[in-house]
Amino acid sequence: MPGSNISSLSPDAMKISVTATSTAKPALGRSAVLRVVKATLAAEGLRSADPWEVAIRFTAAADIRAVNREWRGIDRATDVISFPAAEGQGGEYAGFLLGDLLIAPEVVAAHARQYRTTVERETAFVIVHGLLHLLGYDHATVSERRLMRERQNAIMERIGHGAA
């Protein structure tokens, strides 16, 4: 996929790569994405002075649908897909590497309309949600869903977007 780098690395030891395909139009700019990532990691007790690494790629709905079909067996576009580095074979060697997030701005915008919120807030929400997955949170059970929702709400409050 052709892409453009909409932000480089953060000024801390933390490495946050944010890219977008030529057709993806993220609602948040570089500084806002970095602020959401840093606030999420700080809320989970991780220091930005440590060399945490995460890659965020904004992509077209058709592309995320193909990835969702291939990796999850679900043939539809979704707003965010997380690829935690600590999962699967070799995960024990991930260290500071958190993983990758794929985000489809088209789907995020549709969800923002559906939930009657701003595209900026919904974009921040999917970044928080995806990062929590990279950190090991899930929502497969009622108790996991409750815990993840509590963390998402606390982080969204922290970054000034209010609870869901």
What pLDDT sits at residue 155? 96
Number of C-alpha atoms within 13 angstroms, CB side, residue 156?
20
Instruction: Name the domain count of the chain.
Output: 1
Question: The CATH number of the domain where 20 resides is what?
Answer: 3.40.390.30
Asked whether residue 163 is assigned to any structural domain, the reply reads no
CA nearest to 84, candidates 43, 137, 157, 151: 137
Q: What tokens were used for 100?
A: 């990758």
Give residue-wise pLDDT tens across range 43-97.
999 887 888 899 999 999 999 999 999 999 999 999 999 999 888 777 776 778 8
Task: Give the DSSP H/E element, type plus range, for residue 26.
Answer: none
Reported pTM: 0.89
Q: How far is it, in rounded angstroms, from Cα 164 to Cα 152?
A: 8
Q: b/e map of 16-30 (b: 16 or more CB within 10 Å)?
A: bbbbbbebbebbbee
Collapsing DSSP states into helix, strand and coil, what is residue 51?
Answer: coil
Number of C-alpha atoms within 13 angstroms, CB side, residue 61?
11
CA nearest to 159, candidates 133, 120, 108: 120
pLDDT averaged over the chain? 88
- The band of 163, judged by pLDDT with boundaries at 50, 70 and 90, is low
What pLDDT sits at residue 70? 96
Asked whether residue 96 is assigned to any structural domain, the reply reads yes
Q: Is the model more confident about 163 or about 49?
A: 49
Number of C-alpha atoms within 13 angstroms, CB side, residue 114?
8
Residue 34 has pLDDT above 50, yes or no: yes
**Which residue range(s) make up the domain with 47?**
3-158
Q: How far apart are the first and last CA of the chain?
A: 33
Neighbours of 138 (CB within 10 A): 12
Asked whether residue 164 is assigned to any structural domain, the reply reads no
